[in-house]
């Protein structure tokens, strides 16, 4: 039979429509203004703390819509933003720095849809708003890090040139080198002129000393590069969060604006964006007495650290590899069932690690976790932000064999800590610490009036197309309208499954696909009418109309698809959002306009003998 689909094909088309309806449904439900409370420590919130937070919220007498405790964090839903903001301010004052209190917009999707993995698509800042962060780059820390690098590099260079020295130390913006004897000073100056010509050299009265200082020009360049590197790292971290169409821009000399449209979990966004975390691998100094270092007399080539259990440990000042030499990191479980991060190094890092492990088999190596924490304290009624660099040894293990490019790091407290650390290492370490100086949830940037107009334009365009098709093509037009509606449902469902961000340009792409979908049906229906005028039977006209129009429809859709792909590849921001909806709309319109309408027409007409078609 020409005009009939086999049972399996009908079932497959209906299943596709059913799945589209299910995954588009969450977009009909709204969102609740909420406050989310999470722990800043490795261990998540426990039930007693959740009960304490609930009692604290109840003491405000705010109308709470719902109170949820799940996955180690508390989510309090409200009916309006005034109660949300009031509660958030109270919790920030009461909870302290060990907890993160963030504003949130929690979806009201029913549980049975969430169980199927159906979530609403994100809306951009111009439709629903999102999260706005203003980050300040710590330029002083960037300068200190540069001094630290030069300090270590100078020690290595002096040892490599066999120059004996008493000390290499940072003091008041200078790196002061004190030699064993003044006779080696000319050799030192030659070395500095050759390998460290960017440093400004000062010769004090002492004949055996040389003072070095980083030039103002290099400091400015270091600060500039730190901001640029931080922007790149933040983009990588935003990509890891799965946010579409983020806005990351530099403001002034040392500030970066980050806007995350449609973000649901603002707590995680704040944690990932603001955290400065990296790793350092160092050999353990087993030759010197740790107790003397604790008493304030560490050996020249070592530094005193503390393990998680509070035990002191001496580590070599020489760093084997750092976080910026890590090219990939993934979390998992090691052979002993402990959370671990599996790390891959670049060529330079792999060569250094391979050389060191080959020469130190049987010796212990430590992993140092480094992060910067910002704590706000109230002193004399004024809020003062205190920055602290936290360094802790998370793992000490004996080098059992030679390894270089890929290895694992253990000693983490939980799988969640392993996941967060792997994300940060994979995205790249921040070149300098950042401080979140401003955080807010922003409303639609174009205003509610523009949003209403955008939605109204879609409704008016859709209704006009529906009326034209129903009047001009009668029953066939109604079938095309059915396919048109499902085309929109499929586009929304796919955007929801991809958790893409819909913006006003995206809506424009959907409106454009509405016209393209109808255009395909117009080509088919006109070909059917032409075959009827040529004297063919209604059944044969339907079959020939669909078969002959397919090549033309395919050509037009492929050319449009090529343009949409080019827009996506080379466009940015709103252009990319328009291209995404256009690509999805083109593919779905091919399915609904050809396969969907033909299935319904087959049901109505099939190969029955009818004298006239309602077209």
- DSSP assignment of 269-328: HHHHHH-EEEEEEEEE--SS-HHHHHTT---TTEEEEEBTTS-EEEEEEEEEEEGGGEEE
The candidate with the shortest Cα–Cα distance to 226, out of 324, 297, 321, is 324
The region, left, alpha or beta by phi > 0 then psi within -120 to 50, assigned to residue 495 is alpha
Q: What is the residue whose two structure tokens read 């002193």? A: 379
pTM over 0.85: no
The reported pLDDT for the residue numbered 294 is 85
| Alpha-helix residue ranges (DSSP H) falling in 173-297 | 185-195, 216-241, 266-274, 290-294
The candidate with the shortest Cα–Cα distance to 409, out of 470, 366, 472, 355, is 366
Integer CA distances (angstroms), 53 to 73, 86, 101, 510, in order: 11, 14, 11, 44
Is 234 part of any domain?
no
What is the β-pairing status of strands 122-123 and 501-502? parallel
Do both 308 and 340 map to the same domain? Answer: yes
**Of 169, 185, 217, which residue constitutes the final position of a domain?**
217
Question: What are the percentages of helix, strand and coil residues in the chain, rounded to 5?
Answer: 50, 25, 25
Calculate what percentage of the chain has a pLDDT beyond 90: 4
Across residues 355-363, what is the average pLDDT?
Answer: 86
Do both 395 and 529 map to the same domain? Answer: no
Do both 418 and 282 map to the same domain? Answer: yes
Do both 462 and 583 map to the same domain? Answer: yes
The reported pLDDT for the residue numbered 275 is 65
The region, left, alpha or beta by phi > 0 then psi within -120 to 50, assigned to residue 606 is left
DSSP state, 135? E
Decide if pLDDT at 185 tops 80: yes
Number of Cβ within 10 Å of residue 34's Cβ equals: 24
**Of 217, 237, 265, which residue constitutes the final position of a domain?**
217
Do both 182 and 291 map to the same domain? Answer: no
Across residues 556-576, what is the average pLDDT?
Answer: 84
Contact 138, 432 (CB under 8 A): yes
Please write the tens of the pLDDT for every residue from 77-93.
888 877 887 888 788 77
Specify the number of domains making up the chain. Answer: 4
What CATH number is attached to the domain comprising 317?
A: 3.30.1360.200
The reported pLDDT for the residue numbered 363 is 86
Structure confidence at residue 490 as a pLDDT band (50, 70, 90): very high
What CATH number is attached to the domain comprising 158?
A: 3.30.1240
Is 245 part of any domain?
no
Do both 46 and 156 map to the same domain? Answer: no
Reading across the β-sheet that carries 174-179, which strands appear in turn?
A: 165-171, 174-179, 209-214, 199-202
Please write the tens of the pLDDT for every residue from 379-398.
666 666 666 777 888 778 78
Is 499 part of any domain?
yes
Do both 13 and 53 map to the same domain? Answer: no
What CATH number is attached to the domain comprising 76?
A: 3.30.70.260
The candidate with the shortest Cα–Cα distance to 123, out of 580, 453, 500, is 500
| Cα gap 465→495, rounded to integer Å | 23
The three-point CA angle 339-432-407 to 5° equals 30
Decide which of 381 and 319 is more confident: 319
Is 119 part of any domain?
no
Decide if pLDDT at 307 tops 80: yes
Do both 347 and 409 map to the same domain? Answer: yes
DSSP state, 180? S
Decide if pLDDT at 609 tops 70: yes
* Among 96-100, 155-159, 370-374, 461-465, the least confident range: 96-100
Calculate what percentage of the chain has a pLDDT beyond 70: 87
Please write the tens of the pLDDT for every residue from 198-256.
788 888 877 788 888 888 888 888 888 888 878 877 887 776 554 555 778 888 888 88
* Among 368-377, 516-525, 576-585, 587-596, the least confident range: 368-377
Do both 451 and 580 map to the same domain? Answer: yes
Decide if pLDDT at 265 tops 60: no
The reported pLDDT for the residue numbered 110 is 87
Is 120 part of any domain?
no
| Cα gap 208→199, rounded to integer Å | 18
Q: How far is CA 592 from the centre of its chain?
A: 34
Across residues 17-23, what is the average pLDDT?
Answer: 93
The reported pLDDT for the residue numbered 23 is 92
Is 133 part of any domain?
no
| Phi, psi (rounded to 5 degrees) for 12 | -65, -40
* Per-chain mean pLDDT for the chain: 80
Decide if pLDDT at 426 tops 70: no
Do both 281 and 416 map to the same domain? Answer: yes
| Cα gap 117→260, rounded to integer Å | 22
The reported pLDDT for the residue numbered 365 is 86
**Of 86, 108, 130, which residue constitutes the final position of a domain?**
108
Structure confidence at residue 12 as a pLDDT band (50, 70, 90): very high
Is 614 part of any domain?
no
Do both 286 and 355 map to the same domain? Answer: yes
Length in residues, the chain:
615
Across residues 57-63, what is the average pLDDT?
Answer: 80
* Among 469-473, 535-539, 580-584, the least confident range: 535-539
Q: Could you list the residue range(s) of the whole structural domain that residue 315 is in? A: 277-433
Do both 360 and 424 map to the same domain? Answer: yes
What is the per-residue DSSP string for 484-551?
A: HHHHHHHHHHHHHHTT-EE-HHHHHHHHHHHHHHHHHHHHHHHHHHHHHHTT--HHHHHHHHHHHHHH
Is 129 part of any domain?
no
């Amino acid at each position: 039979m020409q005009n009939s689909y086999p049972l399996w094909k009908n079932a497959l088309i209906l299943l596709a429509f059913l799945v589209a309806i299910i995954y588009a449904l969450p977009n009909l439900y709204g969102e609740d203004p909420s406050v989310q409370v999470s722990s800043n420590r490795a261990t998540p919130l426990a039930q007693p703390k959740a009960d304490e937070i609930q009692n604290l919220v109840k003491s405000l007498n705010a109308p709470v819509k719902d109170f949820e405790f799940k996955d180690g964090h508390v989510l309090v839903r409200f009916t309006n933003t005034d109660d949300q903001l009031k509660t958030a301010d109270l919790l920030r004052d009461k909870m302290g720095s060990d907890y993160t209190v963030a504003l949130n917009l929690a979806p009201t999707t029913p549980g049975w849809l969430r169980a199927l993995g159906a979530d609403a698509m994100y809306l951009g800042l111009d439709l629903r708003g999102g999260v706005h962060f203003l980050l300040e780059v710590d330029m002083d820390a960037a300068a200190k890090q540069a001094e630290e690098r030069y300090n270590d590099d100078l020690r290595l260079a002096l040892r490599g040139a066999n120059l004996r020295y008493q000390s290499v130390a940072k003091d008041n913006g200078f790196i002061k080198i004190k030699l064993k004897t003044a006779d080696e000073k000319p050799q030192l100056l030659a070395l500095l002129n050759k390998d460290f010509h960017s440093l400004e050299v000062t010769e004090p009265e002492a004949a055996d000393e040389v003072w070095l200082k980083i030039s103002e020009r290099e400091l400015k360049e270091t600060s500039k590069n730190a901001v640029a590197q931080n922007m790149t790292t933040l983009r990588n971290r935003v990509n890891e969060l799965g946010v579409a169409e983020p806005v990351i821009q530099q403001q002034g000399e040392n500030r970066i604006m980050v806007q995350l449209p449609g973000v649901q979990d603002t707590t995680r966004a704040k944690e990932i964006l603001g955290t400065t975390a990296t790793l350092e691998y160092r050999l353990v100094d087993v030759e010197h007495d740790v107790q003397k270092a604790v008493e304030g007399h560490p050996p020249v080539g070592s530094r005193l650290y503390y393990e998680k259990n509070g035990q002191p440990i001496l580590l070599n000042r020489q760093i084997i590899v750092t976080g910026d030499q890590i090219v990939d990191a993934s979390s998992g479980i090691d052979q002993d069932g402990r959370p671990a991060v599996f790390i891959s190094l670049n060529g330079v890092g792999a060569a250094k690690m391979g050389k060191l492990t080959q020469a130190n088999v049987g010796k212990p190596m430590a992993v140092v976790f480094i992060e910067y924490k910002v704590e706000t304290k109230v002193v004399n009624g004024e809020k003062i932000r205190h920055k602290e660099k936290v360094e802790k040894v998370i793992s000490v293990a004996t080098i059992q064999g030679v390894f270089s490019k890929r290895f694992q790091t253990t000693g983490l407290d939980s799988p969640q800590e392993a996941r967060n650390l792997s994300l940060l290492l994979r995205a790249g370490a921040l070149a300098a610490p950042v401080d979140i100086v401003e955080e807010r949830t922003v409303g639609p940037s174009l205003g509610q009036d523009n949003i209403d107009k955008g939605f109204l334009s879609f409704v008016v365009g859709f209704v006009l197309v529906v009326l034209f098709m129903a009047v001009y093509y009668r029953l066939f037009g109604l079938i095309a309208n059915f396919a048109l509606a499902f085309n929109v449902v499929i586009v929304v469902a796919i955007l929801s499954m991809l958790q893409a961000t819909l913006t006003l340009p995206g809506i424009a792409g959907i409106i454009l696909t509405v016209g393209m979908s109808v255009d395909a049906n117009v080509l088919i229906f006109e070909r059917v009418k032409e075959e009827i005028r040529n004297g063919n039977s209604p059944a044969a006209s339907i079959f020939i109309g669909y078969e002959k129009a397919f090549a033309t429809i395919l050509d037009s859709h492929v050319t449009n698809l090529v343009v949409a792909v080019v827009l996506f590849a080379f466009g940015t921001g709103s252009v990319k959002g328009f291209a995404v909806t256009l690509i999805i709309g083109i593919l779905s319109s091919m399915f609904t306009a050809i396969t969907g309408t033909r299935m319904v027409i087959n049901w109505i007409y099939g190969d029955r003998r009818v004298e006239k078609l309602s077209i």
